[in-house]
Amino acid sequence: MIKVIIERQIKEGQFQNYFDLIRRARKQATAIAGFIAGEILQEKNNQNHAMIISSWENFDAWEKWLASSEREEALSELKPFLDGDEKITVLEGTKLL
């Protein structure tokens, strides 16, 4: 299993518009084989700094979503509400010695 963290800075006053689109994109992601779960979080002292943390069965499933036309379309709709580019971090568990 992997976890993906997507960080975005939302333009002032645009969080609700952003959130509405993210909810729709999450529904689309659930149709991708390998999607496990996702949540959106806001920084406590900066409500416009949002993070999405999603869990995927494997990296291939995440890559399928990353390259999908559905995600591309969702991202193009989100861009007007973003202040800069998103930052994506993919995390995978390590084996303990």
User: What residue segments make up the domains of the chain, in order of their start?
Assistant: 2-92
CATH T-level fold of 2-92: Alpha-Beta Plaits (3.30.70)
What pTM does this model have? 0.89
| Residue corresponding to tokens 């518009």 | 17
3 state SS of 60: helix
Indicate whether 28 pLDDT > 90: no
**Is 26's pLDDT higher than 90?**
no
For 73, residues 6+ apart whose C-beta sits below 8 A from its C-beta are none
Query: What is the per-residue pLDDT for 97?
Result: 62
pLDDT of residue 60: 96
Q: Residue 39 above 70 pLDDT?
A: yes
| pLDDT for 79 | 95
